[in-house]
Amino acid sequence: MTVKNILETMDYGPAPESASEAMAWLDSKNRQFGHFIDGKFTPPTQDFTSKNPANGEVLASLSQARQDDVDAAISAARKAQKSWAKSGHTRAKYLYALARALQKHARLFAVLETLDNGKPIRESRDIDVPLAQRHFYHHAGFAQLMEDELPDREALGVCGQIIPWNFPLLMLSWKIAPALAMGNAVVLKPAEYTSLTALLFAEICDQAGLPKGVVNIVTGDGAVGEMITASDVDKLAFTGSTEVGRIIRKATAGSGKALSLELGGKSPYIVFDDADLDSAVEGLVDAIWFNQGQVCCAGSRLLVQEGIADTFYRKLKSRMDGLRIGDPLDKCIDVGAIVDPIQRATIADMVASNDEGETYQTTAPEGCFYPPTLITGLTTSSKLMQEEIFGPVLVSTTFRTPAEAVAMANDTRYGLAATVWTENINLALDIAPQLVAGIVWVNSTNLMDAAAGFGGVRESGFGREGGWEGLSSYTKAKDAPKPTKPVTAFEGKGGLSDPIDRTAKLYIGGKQSRPDGGYSRVVYGPKGDALGEVSLANRKDLRNAVEAAHKAKGWSKTTGHLRAQILYYLAENLAARSAEFADRIKAMTGKQGKDEVEGAIQTLFTYAAWADKYDGQVHGVPIRGVALAMKEPVGVIAALCDTRPLAGLIEVIAPAIAMGNRVIASTSEVFPLAATDFIQVLETSDVPAGVVNLLTGDHAEMAPHMGAHMDIDAVWSFSDPSHAATIEAGSASNIKRTLIAPVPGAAKAMLDAATEVKNIWVPYGE
């Protein structure tokens, strides 16, 4: 090609990055890897290979971990963890050393990542590797600060971590840095397609002199993931498909293991008619063509305001035509290879199965490449608008009004991220809180940083990675509530002396209602005397309560100030009847009830105090902007109360409603009458209908339905531990949050459980 030709076409020439250092490193290992356990590499067993998806070349052979390997890794971690947890400053020094080592070997990591995964070198060099370093630097700081800033938290112990192939080193850093910072030891399994940077990281741990056993890496496929899931780790952290997330939720149900799930998404990308269209187009390049669209938070669902749709699509197609697809090691490449031919076939099949709308595709080279694709004219119910494609395929429809945009954006089972483009700050800040997502980007997209929590709601999972909010997933309360002694209901002689039916009713949607099944139970005192009857709620009563709770959604939008006032009012009305409640508790339990009533009043005061003070934060992130970490209510919480007649109820409903949730509480199973008396307090305290719903009856009847109900966002159980497995297995249905403990925890822990952090990234400053 002559200079004249070049000037005519203005084509980019190739600018290949050299693979020689990375190849030399692989050669130095004879292109064979074992696992990294207890500070050493095990002998390789050559069970499967890792290939460069861009050309099919085998890069190395890897070992599939056997049960013995997983056991050895977990026992090495167990042995190392106690002394690792001792000094935050020592941990900070190691994390800092790891960050420095990642920085020193940045180019090697970037090239190896690109070879193994197929992502453009521009991305691994400028995004994956720098962000991985940033995680270690940032969490070195958390390790240093833990003792002073989180004095009531401690390490969980050994964490099993299972990560996907889309950001191999970055996901490793997101998992390992916070775990280590908080004093845990880890056993991490990279995805089978992309293990090489994890193995290079293991070598770096060794070079940094990290105490052996603190980081262990085992390789292999899902079977190894299953072994880790079944092992006696204290916590499992998983990033990957919603399908596998569900399997892990079920497999760990009732085990007492902590769990965080970062799953799929179908994130909306909303463009309003006043947006800077060129910037919004450029944003889309980062939203859906970054990493070939293999990004859990990819802006894969484009919603464009009708009036600008034609113009916007035209600009977008012209930008798509300019995207360069090909050799990922070429520094001029925008779109690299799909991670594996299997994944490419999945994308192609999903696109081929669609017969709706109009498809626009650019071209891609032969091999494991897929062309950038835009499908317009779909409806929100179209299959491709609902299902995660995990490839460079953007699907789109139009909307007319902001309200319609919000409704369409939220019409998904996922809730990971959302993007809003508009030049109108009022509109952006009006829309952001209405989007059901863990992250919202305003006039920007796919921004991530160690200082800001990352994670979703609904079937996108739970738990946050990054920021102060991410640390709770890797710690537990030092003074965890102690299990209470089991209490059984008193038996009686049968029958009630009072001929008039005084069966306490259920409280649903602000009304007292009879149980659907028509059954009730007599409550006996310690001497066997009948004290009254309570209704036995069933599945239909729960369903009615869930409906009522959803109707009361306005509660979530009330101010903390108003909620505080109502909680104080509840306390005041309870105080006015404290003698009556104390007598009732004594009659049921045989023990004085004064202290419990006083404690309940104090609890109401505590959460009234917090209602307008449990604020979010503004995270300083290293971009031209800030991330507003807003604490939002979880939604509808169903709870099984512990045996304490009044305290068990108040410690559940007070934090839940203080934070703007609606709650369905199944009261103390054995001593339910104080809770049913509390209905009158609720009725006289301005609590809107449906905000608090009370059910009485058997917890065993409620547990499976609460766990599995698709419209419940969280289940808290302070009841018999035997219900934990049922609730957690059922919660896999819609990936709801669960809190299982003998009794409710300290105020901060309960407020944490009652809220979810949404990070809203807004441009700010210069």
Chain residues binding ligand NAI by CB under 6 A are 162-166, 189, 191-192, 221-222, 225-226, 229, 239-241, 244, 247-248, 263-264, 296, 343, 346, 388, 390
Phi, psi of 653 (to 5 degrees): -75, -30
Rounded to whole angstroms, what are the CA distances from 24 to 19, 28, 110, 201, 317?
9, 6, 14, 16, 41
CB 276 within 8 A of CB 308: no
Least Å distance between CB 246 and ligand NAI?
Answer: 10
Least Å distance between CB 125 and ligand NAI?
Answer: 21
Q: Which residue has the tokens 């209405």?
A: 434
Q: 209: buried, middle or exposed (CB in 10 Å: 19+, 13-18, 0-12)?
A: exposed
Question: Which residue's CB atom is positioned nearest to ligand NAI?
Answer: 225
Is 262 labeled as catalytic in the residue annotation? yes
Least Å distance between CB 192 and ligand NAI?
Answer: 5
Least Å distance between CB 387 and ligand NAI?
Answer: 9
Distance CA 315, CA 335 (A): 19
Q: Which residue has the tokens 């209908």?
A: 689
Rounded to whole angstroms, what are the CA distances from 542 to 194, 506, 556, 636, 740?
46, 10, 20, 12, 20
Taking the least distance from each CB to ligand NAI, the nearer of 83 and 255 is 255
Taking the least distance from each CB to ligand NAI, the nearer of 269 and 390 is 390
**Amino acid symbol at 364:** A
3-state secondary structure of 371: coil
Least Å distance between CB 262 and ligand NAI?
Answer: 6
Nearest to 190 by CA among 292, 65, 103, 52: 65
Taking the least distance from each CB to ligand NAI, the nearer of 473 and 643 is 473
Taking the least distance from each CB to ligand NAI, the nearer of 290 and 312 is 290
Taking the least distance from each CB to ligand NAI, the nearer of 221 and 404 is 221
Q: 354: buried, middle or exposed (CB in 10 Å: 19+, 13-18, 0-12)?
A: middle
Helix (H) or strand (E) holding 271: strand 268-271
Least Å distance between CB 292 and ligand NAI?
Answer: 12
Measured over all CA atoms, what is the biggest interatomic distance in the chain, rounded to whole angstroms?
A: 106
Taking the least distance from each CB to ligand NAI, the nearer of 343 and 617 is 343
The gap from C-alpha 740 to its chain's centroid, in whole angstroms, comes to: 17
CB 99 within 8 A of CB 105: no
**Amino acid symbol at 196:** L
Distance CA 44, CA 23 (A): 18
Taking the least distance from each CB to ligand NAI, the nearer of 164 and 357 is 164
- HEC string for 704-735: HHHHHCCCCCEEEECCCHHHHHHHHHHCCCCC
Least Å distance between CB 372 and ligand NAI?
Answer: 17
Least Å distance between CB 96 and ligand NAI?
Answer: 28
Catalytic residue among 17, 192, 262, 632: 262
With DSSP H G I counted as helix, E B as strand and the rest as coil, what are the percentages for the chain, rounded to 5? 45, 20, 40
What residues contact 470, with CB distance under 8 A and at least 6 apart?
A: 178, 453, 454, 455, 463, 464
Taking the least distance from each CB to ligand NAI, the nearer of 70 and 537 is 70
Taking the least distance from each CB to ligand NAI, the nearer of 244 and 378 is 244
CB 371 within 8 A of CB 378: no
Residues marked as catalytic:
262
